[in-house]
Amino acid sequence: MKTILASTGDFVREVGINPISSLEQSYQLAFSSRLASAKNPLEFKKNFDLILTSDELTVLKNLIKQALAER
């Protein structure tokens, strides 16, 4: 599953979380972006990705909730 995190002018940042079938309870978290002025303006370029377990995703979710609650 993917969603757009930011879209400003000609810049778009996307994040996706996908299960890894060969690793039980593991997921790929990937950030990518595209720029309308790039050579291929419709192509997303991978910026960063990592593999997390479901427990690690829960830790990340809780960290984000805490950060938002403190604002």
Largest CA distance in the chain: 41
pLDDT of 60 higher than 90: yes
Q: What pLDDT was estimated at residue 68?
A: 95
44-58 pLDDT, tens per residue?
A: 999 999 999 999 999
* Count of the separate structural domains present in the chain: 1
Domain that holds residue 24: 2-69
Task: Report pLDDT for 71.
Answer: 81
Q: In this predicted structure, what is the pLDDT of residue 15?
A: 97
Q: Is 58 helix (H, G, I), strand (E, B) or coil?
A: helix
Query: Could you write out the DSSP letters of every residue in 28-47?
Result: EEEEEEEETTSSSTT--EEE
Segment 15-39, tens digit of pLDDT: 999 999 999 999 999 999 999 999 9
**H/E element, 49:** strand 45-53
What does pTM read for this prediction? 0.83
